[in-house]
Amino acid sequence: MADAPRLRDCGVESDYRSDRSNLVEDFYLPALASSINYDRAVGYFAASVIATLGQGIDEFASRGGTLRIIASPYLEPADIKDIEDGYELREILQRAALRDLEQAVEDQRAARGLGKLGRLVAAGKVDFKLAYVEERGRVGMYHEKIGVFQDGRDIVAFKGSANETRSGLVGNFEAIEVYRSWDPRDTDRAARISNDFEDLWHNRTSMLRVVPFTEATKVIIERSAQATAGRYDLDELPTGGAPIATTTQPPAGALAIPPSLAVRDYQKEAVQNWFRSQGRGILRMATGTGKTLTALSAAAQLGSLLRKNDDSSSLLVVIVAPYQHLIDQWAKDIEWFGVTPLRAYESASKWSPRAHSLLQNLALGGARGGVIVTTNATFGGGAFQNLLDGYKGQLLLIADEAHNLGARHLRTQLPEKAQYRLGLSATPERWFDEEGTDALTDYFGEIVFEMGIGEAIRRGALCRYTYTPILVELDDEEAELYAETSAKIARLIAAGTDLRETADSDSPLGRLLKKRADIIGHARGKLEILRTEMEKRRETSHQLIYCAEGKHPILYEHGTDGPRQIDQVMNMVGNELHMTVARYTSDTKRPARQGILRRFERNELQAISSMRCLDEGVDVPASRTAYLLASSSNPRQFIQRRGRVLRKAPGKERADIVDFVVVPPAGGDALQNETERSLLRRELARVEEFAHLAENEAVTLNVLRPVRERYGLFDI
């Protein structure tokens, strides 16, 4: 067996602050993973923190770790009056603390934490005491916040603003100072904080009274049972009926379907089809239909079935998604399923030690499950691949937006040792890349369930929508550049260029195709039409504006500089129309992105202007209107963008999609050539796709009739 982890090797820094670090990911979990004792004295403790620390607490307890907590219960006015009236102080304090536990059962996250807490209490792994100020006949709350981790040799002590609550760790802006016993500069302070806690625990601190929470054990276990009653027994694969309710607790690290999750019939069908295909396959489900929850339900049921066949079996679930913000979204849902996942991205030093500790814990039987969520970039890197190479147990690989893993540099990294494989995508086919598409189906298996946008709307999983295509003419300069670029493309194809190069943006053909798409995306006539459309909705909210990437190709042709389309849009909407708008791009930092989405949800922002960052996986269900300034003929892009605005939300009956459709300028002999007809074919194919399912299909087709007549395009 490898040596036990040590605190001095877990990368603990001297301080943590919310604007530059994540208290849970960067401090608490690494310290827990290296400790055998954790002591915490705080002004307030909530069971929800146990759910937040999740897997770290499970592993800590499985190694024999013990937790001592000193907290001060919240006193309501009635409690204070009873104290003043001479009622038994200790009884009132316990009543207040028990009231906090009662309320925890009503909160889903706190209830999950309470379930874990109950198991720890029953196993003798946690002990509570209550603290309060008692001086000159008056009672006050204990507000100090200190903590001590110990590994048997070293100490990490800390103090700061964070309470031991979920909001204190992940919701509020907090800061803590950390003192490490092996650092000569910190030795005395680490020892002093540790001694202060011991004095508190043994009621040796002047001005304070610290008393055992004598009723805690019984009540926590009782409340724990209430909090987790109704969990699903997934030992049998559901056959369409409701799962059987049970109070059986899943083992450490194992996913469990939340009792409050309303699993739709089509999601059950998708999971059943995947199991019938021996735990391999692709779910082709429209954006907004719940692919994430469907996949987690499948993972939870798989783990349960494996344990039924072998009660010592464990399952590692690895989830791969394109971007960090998608990892964060996945993590929230995984926590709802009862497990705090390990997030692996950015520097390997941040996640690799904990990942290896998790795999070791699985191998030794200390946990029956674990979840790692990682980005495509980290997944394809050497550190993560080495991690997977060393794992010998049961492995489920879930690929979100699975089409991305068909890229040449990623498909070669897909682990053959994964016994179970699940791909998720609204559009699993790779655009102009048959080789990549074939590689995906070779690895994950065939599509085992499919639900398109039309069926999702009919079933009520997505909302209805109206579609307004608006014709935008290229100006003469743009039309000339478009024709020149198309001619170059035609010559390359005629010369025998491999069409697979269309998937390679760095190839000569790929660069020309991108340039032609950029001419359409940046068509200068779009901005004034956008102004007219937004003026109609100047007082409304929840609007998305999809802009073209980069700059107008004509600027590159002339070697001149100029504003990007998104900059022009931001100036027009924010400064000229005086609407509240924010940009959401790859340059927007993660905390700022989360703030933008929260403000948008709360109606504090009328509009978000973006490029590609809202294409895949970002949840913006509140959006009502989408302006498609740039939507290529790539079906993945326009399907993703349509799906973003069709997500259901309270009070949302319908969405509106405004699509800017580029056409050649009217008049002139050059306009009748096949190049311009080809442009229109591509644009009208997208329009047909959008119009087909819209509430106003007939009106939409009438808008396009004059263009079809002009170019003889009734064959589309």
Closest CA to 62 of 2, 140, 120: 120
Task: Check: CB of residue 107 under 8 Å from CB of residue 100.
Answer: no
- Of 603-607, 618-622, 696-700, which range is least confident? 618-622
Q: Cα-flanking dihedrals φ and ψ of residue 132, to 5°? A: -155, 160
pLDDT per position as a tens digit, 540-560: 999 999 998 888 999 888 878
339 or 21, greater pLDDT: 339
pLDDT per position as a tens digit, 407-466: 878 888 899 999 999 999 887 777 657 787 888 989 999 999 999 888 989 888 889 999
Q: Is the pLDDT of residue 366 over 80?
A: no
The mean pLDDT value for 526-540 works out to: 94
The mean pLDDT value for 681-686 works out to: 76
Closest CA to 629 of 569, 557, 550, 542: 569
| Half-sphere exposure for 203 (CA within 13 Å, toward CB) | 9
The number of beta carbons lying within 10 Å of the beta carbon of residue 189 is 17
Q: What is the pairing mode between strands 369-375 and 342-344?
A: parallel
The number of beta carbons lying within 10 Å of the beta carbon of residue 24 is 20
User: pTM of the entire structure?
Assistant: 0.61
Q: How far apart are CA 11 and CA 414, in angstroms?
A: 30
Q: State the pLDDT confidence band at 98, using cuts at 50, 70 and 90.
A: low
Q: How far apart are CA 664 and CA 668, in angstroms?
A: 10
Q: Is the pLDDT of residue 655 over 80?
A: yes
The number of beta carbons lying within 10 Å of the beta carbon of residue 595 is 15
Q: What string of DSSP letters covers 520-556?
A: HHT-TTHHHHHHHHHHHTTT---EEEEPPSS--HHHH
Give the pLDDT of residue 169: 46
Residue type, 699: V
Domain with CATH 3.30.870.10 in the chain: 7-226
Give the pLDDT of residue 408: 78
Residue type, 367: A
The mean pLDDT value for 280-308 works out to: 91
pLDDT per position as a tens digit, 71-80: 776 655 555 5
Q: Is the pLDDT of residue 347 over 80?
A: yes
Give the pLDDT of residue 676: 64
Q: How far apart are CA 233 and CA 555, in angstroms?
A: 62
Q: State the pLDDT confidence band at 697, using cuts at 50, 70 and 90.
A: confident
Give the chain's mean pLDDT.
79
Q: What is the 3-state secondary structure (H, E, C) of 113-127?
A: HHHHHHHHHHCCCEE
Through-space distance between the first and last CA atoms of the chain, rounded to whole angstroms:
67
Give the pLDDT of residue 246: 34
Task: Check: CB of residue 650 under 8 Å from CB of residue 605.
Answer: no
Please name the residue ranges forming H helices in 105-215: 108-122, 166, 187-201
188 or 461, greater pLDDT: 188
CATH number assigned to the domain covering 464-677: 3.40.50.300
Task: Check: CB of residue 228 under 8 Å from CB of residue 247.
Answer: yes
Q: State the pLDDT confidence band at 54, using cuts at 50, 70 and 90.
A: low
Which range has highest mean pLDDT (194-203, 238-247, 322-331, 423-432)?
Answer: 194-203
Looking at domain 230-458, what is its CATH homologous superfamily?
P-loop containing nucleotide triphosphate hydrolases (3.40.50.300)
Q: State the pLDDT confidence band at 97, using cuts at 50, 70 and 90.
A: low
Tokens of 166: 């979920």
Q: How far apart are CA 241 and CA 268, in angstroms?
A: 9
Distance from CA of residue 448 to its chain's centroid?
24
Task: Check: CB of residue 106 under 8 Å from CB of residue 180.
Answer: no
282 or 326, greater pLDDT: 282
CA angle 640, 644, 648 (to 5 degrees): 135
Class of domain 7-226: alpha beta
Give the pLDDT of residue 671: 40
Q: Cα-flanking dihedrals φ and ψ of residue 522, to 5°? A: -95, 10
Kindly provide the b/e burial profile for residues 122-131, where b requires at least 16 CB atoms within 10 angstroms of the residue's own CB: eeebbbbbbb
Q: In what order do the strands lie in the sheet with 581-584?
A: 464-473, 654-663, 625-628, 543-546, 607-610, 581-584
666 or 435, greater pLDDT: 435
